[in-house]
Structure 1
């Protein structure tokens, strides 16, 4: 079946993204591809064997996740070729739009949708 969706990235949040990235490099052989500071927060971009992983610094005072058995991730990112068509498709399926679509930076539009168990799915349309 031909689908308009494909995997884009995994986005993790950490009070110390450098230490977290070092763990993934050491434990699993990830490679660091870039470091940046969007919004003034450190973001380490890694390649975890073909899976792009962003580890971004959380603001001071950010609450830690609840104690187990709670597990989770920040969001799952999926690439789409046509944001408007994807948003309409998900709306027709009853998927709740949480934010967007909006331009994250020139040539990049994003939107966030609710998924089960509090997970968020980000759609990303990259043009140019």
Structure 2
């Protein structure tokens, strides 16, 4: 058996607002929408990851507060974690943890996205300067 990642599927109380966050803050690209006139799902490309954000029914329970069982976080690799964290803070995104040097060549930081989705930004190796 061979498995490949196809997509990550999230549920949201406000799929449109959640998708806007991933587009505006993280540079995702919207690739499609289902449902009209009410949006039921928005499809995004987040750095090569297909991300589906579904409008959750009203009866859906609240999101678990991290840390929790199940999907723990989304990890996004960046070239320069210091510039990334500065950009997030300038946009008013609250960090859950500041930059941590896990080991030589690995630096990480965490913040929360919509619906309590924990997002990690990580830098491997030295920063790439443009």
TM-score normalised over the length of structure 2: 0.48
Q: Which has the higher strand share?
A: 1
Q: Which has the higher helix share?
A: 1
